[in-house]
Structure formats: structure tokens, C-alpha cells
Structure 1
Amino acid sequence: MAFIRENEAKCGLFGLRCIVSGVLVATLAGCSLWSSGAAKPVPADLGANVAVLGVRQAWTNRIGSVAGLPLDIHTAGNVVTVASSDGIVAAIDARTGGDVWRAALAEPLSAGVGSDGKSAAVVSRSNALIVLDAGRERWRQSLAAQVFTPPLVAGGRVFVLSADRSLAAFDAATGHKLWSQQRSGDPLILRQAGVLLAVGDTLVAGFAGRIVGLNPDNGSVRWEAPLASSRGTNDVERLVELVGRTSRVGDSICARAFQTAVGCVNAARGSVAWAQPANGADGVHGDGEALFGAESNGTVVGWRRSDGSRLWTTDRLKHRKLTAPLLLGRSVVIGDDTGLIHLLSRTDGSPLNRMATDGSGIAAAPAVAADTLVVVTRNGGVYGFRPD
């Protein structure tokens, strides 16, 4: 685990990236907790796959490698929008697996993809916000800092949360900047997607350990809810950051603070409903009754959404480097770094089925569109699964 400042050479070493503001950027989720000479933990034996819930592969597509890209699989109706590290952006019909449109930007991306079903937005590694309409570039705007969170396209605007903890809004039709807000915070920030979503007429963003509600028209703060706080004596120990994905049900928003806590806030009142200690690096998902997530060691946890009490835990997937989950019907769907998709019972975490992909690892939290479970691998395979 190490950190490199912007003015030092070879900023790509050890999975780290530097940003123009001089803020230190860290990729901590994969940091080893054992010495180089010690044996790494062995993943739990999965045993034979007993398919309690029948699932079949319906189609495949390809997008190109997404290694190093904090990818979000965006869904709108029957359309799934994805992007690759080298600048391919594609809208895929979840019913057939065929392209609706595809664009090659010919430049690497640092964040993607956001969409409202019409316009799609990504950010390049050269800090350009690029907006596409039906696969054609509509406009681009230069940004002052790197971006790892997919832009939010909503209400005729494009919202961008940058790694220097600034938040900006642009007109989706013209690219004109409407407003920007700058927040202070600790000197470290994660190189992964944060929290950015719309809840009614409120723009909700994660800043350090706080979920903040803002007026989308001018960026003024309506409320702040502290989900986690900095602790420790050095920059690494004080690092606190909210990570995607989130779970929203009505005014309830649940999120994870990196390696610190899981909790829910009430967006109508701007208050914390509950927060529980948790040691995970990726987001959560759930419904009005339950919330699910994976700890950094691969333990999968279910919490009661009303108060945060634990429903169950399972170590069946321990040491498998899991994605954030997707709650889909009776299943908690989660991917691992070997390319397997696991379906666990929402009731007790018992296995319902598992499916293989290309073995390169699942790159993003699974998504659903048109009754199809969609996953993307690090090598760029896009897979659609449906129940038998």
C-alpha cells in the first residue's frame, strides 16, 4: 500500500493514480493485508453447483477490456449502456443482446457510463466530459480534475462529481456549465465510483463520509447526513469515502462508507436512519425490507433495512473478491474475480445457482433490464442471463 503525489514519476505504479489538484488518489480495495512471503488466503471451496433456481445464458456481446475503469452498467427500459477502458461506448438491447448503437471515442476513459436513456455521458482520462446522443458525440467539456464516478444525466442536465470533491452541472443539450461547488475533505480519495443520484427534486452526492442533498438548479446544500467520520492518526487511517452502488427505496438511501460502515439516510428529512460498522470496499443493494453487501474478506451480509440489524451472514464466498450485489427477486446476485456469478438466497444466503463467464473476473455490479441479468467481465464480455 503506497501513495504517489502528482509531481512524482510513474504515477500508475501499484494501481495508484494522481489528479491535477494534487489530491492523493488510492486504490485500496485490493491491497494485501499479508506480507509478500506469507500464503494468501485460500478461497472457500464452492462444492458442486446444485441449481435450485434455473438460469440460462440468453446472449453475449463484447465491449472491449474494462480493466482499470470504474464501470457502471446503466439500464433504462430495455437498453443497457456500457463503456470500455479504451473508449468504446455501446447501448445494447437487453432483449436480444444486439447493439442499439455503438461509438468509438478513440481515447481511454476514467469514468462511465451515465445515461437518461437518450444521452450517455463518460469522462476521458484527459479530463474531458463527453456526451453522446444515439452514439454521436454531441459535445465535450474540459474538467479541472479526474473523475471516477459515472456522470449523472437527469432533468436535462449532466452532473459530474470529480476526484477533487467538486460537483458541477452542465446543460445536457449545449454543454454550458450551469454551476459548480467545491468541497473540502481529507487529502486522500479512492480511485473508484462514489455516490451520485437523483432523489425527487434533490441531487444527492457523497462527500467524504457524508451524504449531501443539493438543489440541482444551483448547487446549494439542502441537508447533510454524516454516515461515517474520519478516524486514526495518519492520512490512510483517516480516509473515509462513500462508494457506489447505493440502494434507494423512496426517500431511503443506503450506502457504504469504505471499510467503515453501512447505513441508511432519509432524504426527505436529511437525517441518518442508522449506521452499522462494516468492513467492505464496494456498494450495497436491497429493497424495502433488506439490504445486502459483501465485506472485503468475501463474507456476504444481509441487514434489516429498518434498523440495520443483521439478518444473516455467509462465508461461502470468502476470499473471492466480490462485486457489489444486485437484489433480484429471491436472489442476491454477486460476481467474483474468477468470472463466476453467484445467486444466493435473500432469505439466508444459501446458494441457488452459479454461472460461469470468460474467467477474467466480473468488472462491475450486476444489473437487470428486460427481465435479463446483465454482467460485464474485465475482458469486456457482456452476458445476458434469464430464468429457465
Structure 2
Amino acid sequence: MPVRFLAIGLLATALAACGTVSSLGKGAVRGVNRAGESVAGRLTASDKPEITAELPELTGSITVEVLAERRITDGTPDGYPKPWPAFDSEVVYTLGESRRHLFAHALADGKRLWKAGLEDEITGGVGVGDGLVLVGTANGELIALAATDGKERWRVPLESEILAPPTARDGVVVVATGDGHLYGLSSADGARKWSIERDVPTLSLRGGSAPLTTPTLAVHGFADGHLVAVDLHTGREAWDTPIVQPRGRTELERMVDADCQPVIEGSAVFAGAYQGRASAIELATGTVGWARELSCDTALAADSFNVYGVDTDDKISAFDQRSGAVYWEQDALKGRHLTAPAVVGAYVAVADIEGYVHWLRADDGTLVGRTRPTKDAFLLTPYVRDGVAYFLSEGGRLYALRPAN
């Protein structure tokens, strides 16, 4: 996920002083370039960031099948944050380019199941759960639609814009807002069950990670660099664990944000942060098992043994889940503006801004395959189901890829 400035006044002052975001510092430049955009621009041939790394040679060879290519939306919307699609069983839900249309398509054949028109622009991604499709607006409204036909079930006003995908489980919708609140609402009618609040730093990333849920907990990373777990049904705090501490003398140097999408594997949640660390945290207690340096602004991925992350310099790392030891690192794709990683069987796949999908061996990180199903950029986190990786391009096409050997 790119660097997005929540403190608009500070950003405006900096822009006025130096003309472009690229003068603000390496972290800002890197983050903006990850999405291939200026602050409010759309990715075009004229503003596409320079690729600073040539395609590396492969040290192996695998065959990758392109199982399907289907247009499921009219393009990735402008601006930040980029709206994540939602995958639920055999259906994918996406926003249209205008941010005012929501589409549902069958994964199997790409058939459109329904299309819903919305009056307000949707700011965050799409969430699913409890038979609902959930989206949030800039004016703080949470809208719940029926997953079966896209008809509106309910909508409720909250105190601030919704920048991350909501989620729902066991009768509770969990949604985060840009002012540092996390809410638990009734899936039936949107009635508020609980809320918690954390301070928002002066400067933070625009957007956020989607809340995670277990049968008993809701887990969310806040802009202050803390990962917090609360009881799913009551909102009572279970633990509050800092996963990064601000460092440096300037506001940019000290900017942190637990914006890297965490992942739950077994009894632990693995989380990361911008200008911070990758950490293993016990779900039951919030105790940090290990922490390793990793400046992350995309999603983590995991298999039974390792946790995988792409840092803000496009270095891919595999960490042992038990000890945090760096199992391998791969930096041959630095400068290619990679997506988050996806674990596909014995391989880890990442896509880049030129439409390439790169395949690495999960056991040692060697580059063994490369596919280019499109020349459009891949910006969003891939999805994996039944050994198939799904990548949504900036042009609105969904590609289903599977390693054949």
C-alpha cells in the first residue's frame, strides 16, 4: 500500500514549498512510487514510475498456466487508498472506477451476478461476512448490502471516513475509521455494540489494514503502530501491543503506521508496520514472540512454516514462524514496485507495475518463473484459493494463475 498522507495541511505546506511529493524524502518518494501515482493522479504512461531494476535471470524454470482472464470492473479508481476487492467463497466483489458502482462476479466463469449503484463515493475497499457486502464512504457512512443480490440492507453514520475494508463474523461487523476508532456493529441492523479509540499521529499513511477476527477476538493495527485485540462481542480490550516505535528527528522519519495487513496462522498473528518491524504476537496474550526489521506497507502472507513480506524497497523476505530467523531474502526484484506476496503451493508469487508475475521457490527464495499476462500494472494484494492465485490489474481484469509443476 502506498504512502498516503492523512495530515493534509502538512502535505499541502510541503508541496507548496517544494513543488512535488518527491522532494519530501526517501520514504515519501518510495511510498508514492509504489502505486505509480502522484497524490491524486491516475497511473498513466506519462506518470508511470521509472523501473530501476532490469528483469533478473531465472535460476530455474516452471510452467505457469493462465487459467482465466476476465474483465470484472471498469478499472481501478483514482486516488488513495486503492480499494481492495473482496473474495468470498466463489464470488469476487469489486468497486468500479467511479467508486459509485459495486460488482459481484462468479470466480468460476466470470459471470456478473449483480451490479449495485451507490450515491456516495466509496473510500476504502470492499468487505464481506455474515452474508453481507460492506463498504464505507468519505462522510463516514457504513453501507451493508446483501451478498446475494446487492440490495441495501442498512446504513449507519460513523464519526469519520472509512478507509479500510470492514469485516463481519458471528453477528458482528468490525470497521475502522480514519479518526482512530474501531467499531463493533450488529450484522442484523448496524446497531452499535461497542467502540474503542486510539490517538492518530499528526502524519500517518492514508488507509489502513482490514480488521481480523477470530471466534472470540477482533484484531486491528492502528496508525500509532499498535496492534490491539478486543473481545469480538463486547469490545473489551484483551491486549495492546506496540509493534513499532517512532525513530528519527523529522516528522517523516518518525512516521509509523501498522498499515501492513497482518495474517493469523495457528495461535499467532503476524504483523508489520511502515518504518517498523515484522512481529509474531501470541493471540491469547499479546506477547511478542519475535520481531525483525521490516518496513512494510502491503500485506504479509504465511504458510505452515514461514511468514513472507515485501518491504518498501521491494526486497522479499521469509521469516521462520517460530524463531523469526530470516530464512531467505530475495532482492533481485528491487525497484519493480511489487505487490504483496501470495503463497501458492510450493511457491511465492509477487506481481509488479509492468504486469509481470514473478515466482519464487518458497523453500529458498530462488526465482524460478515469470509470467506477463498483461502490460497493465498490478497494484493490489493477490488472492489465493485452491492452489490458484488471482491478480487484479489496474485495467480491471482478473487473472487466474497456477503453477503447473
- TM-score, normalised via structure 1 length: 0.86
In structure 2, give the amino acid aligned to 1:102. Answer: K
Distance 1:117 1:157 in 2: 8
In structure 2, give the amino acid aligned to 1:121. Answer: L
Matching residue within 100, 109, 117 for 1:87 = 100
Q: CA RMSD in A?
A: 2.9
Match of 1:29 in 2: 31
Cα distance, 1:304–1:167 mapped onto 2, change above 3 Å: same
Match of 2:376 in 1: 360
Alignment of 1:330-349 (within 5 A): 330-349=346-365
Q: Gaps spanning 5+ residues in structure 1: where? A: 16-25, 33-38
Q: Is the 1:76–1:117 contact (alpha carbons within 8 Å) kept by the matching residues of 2?
A: no
Matching residue within 148, 152, 170 for 2:167 = 152
Is residue 100 from structure 1 mapped to residue 110 from structure 2 by the alignment? no
Cα distance, 1:117–1:361 mapped onto 2, change above 3 Å: farther
Alignment of 1:1-388 (within 5 A): 4-5=8-9, 29-30=31-32, 42-47=52-57, 51-67=61-77, 68=79, 69-85=81-97, 86-116=99-129, 118-133=131-146, 134=148, 135-207=150-222, 208-388=224-404
Q: Is the 1:78–1:370 contact (alpha carbons within 8 Å) kept by the matching residues of 2?
A: no
| Larger fraction in strand | 1
Q: Is the 2:139–2:160 contact (alpha carbons within 8 Å) kept by the matching residues of 1?
A: no
Deviation, structure 1 residue 271 = 0.7
Q: Gaps spanning 5+ residues in structure 2: where? A: 22-27, 35-48
Runs of 4+ aligned structure 1 residues displaced above 4 Å come to 6-9, 47-51
| C-alpha distance after superposition, 1:260-310 (max 9, x if no partner) | 211110111211111111233222111231111112222111111111111
In structure 1, give the amino acid aligned to 2:86. Answer: H
SS of 1:153's partner is strand
Deviation, structure 1 residue 101 = 2.8
SS of 1:291's partner is strand
Distance 1:264 1:363 in 2: 26
> Matched residue pairs, number?
372
Deviation, structure 1 residue 371 = 4.3
In structure 2, give the amino acid aligned to 1:119. Answer: L
Distance 2:30 2:138 in 1: 20
SS of 1:364's partner is coil
Distance 1:97 1:74 in 2: 14
Q: Is the 1:146–1:162 contact (alpha carbons within 8 Å) kept by the matching residues of 2?
A: yes
Q: Is the 2:167–2:210 contact (alpha carbons within 8 Å) kept by the matching residues of 1?
A: no
Distance 1:283 1:319 in 2: 18
| Larger fraction in helix | 2
Match of 2:39 in 1: none
Q: Is the 1:49–1:354 contact (alpha carbons within 8 Å) kept by the matching residues of 2?
A: no
In structure 2, give the amino acid aligned to 1:230. Answer: P
Q: Is the 1:70–1:148 contact (alpha carbons within 8 Å) kept by the matching residues of 2?
A: no
Q: Is the 2:30–2:313 contact (alpha carbons within 8 Å) kept by the matching residues of 1?
A: no
Distance 2:376 2:311 in 1: 21
SS of 2:365's partner is coil
Q: Is the 1:63–1:88 contact (alpha carbons within 8 Å) kept by the matching residues of 2?
A: no
Cα distance, 1:238–1:42 mapped onto 2, change above 3 Å: closer
In structure 2, give the amino acid aligned to 1:305. Answer: Q
Distance 1:193 1:357 in 2: 29
Cα distance, 1:41–1:116 mapped onto 2, change above 3 Å: closer
Distance 1:232 1:374 in 2: 39
Q: Is the 1:335–1:365 contact (alpha carbons within 8 Å) kept by the matching residues of 2?
A: no
- TM-score, normalised via structure 2 length: 0.83
Q: Is the 2:66–2:373 contact (alpha carbons within 8 Å) kept by the matching residues of 1?
A: no
Cα distance, 1:60–1:137 mapped onto 2, change above 3 Å: same
Distance 2:118 2:358 in 1: 33
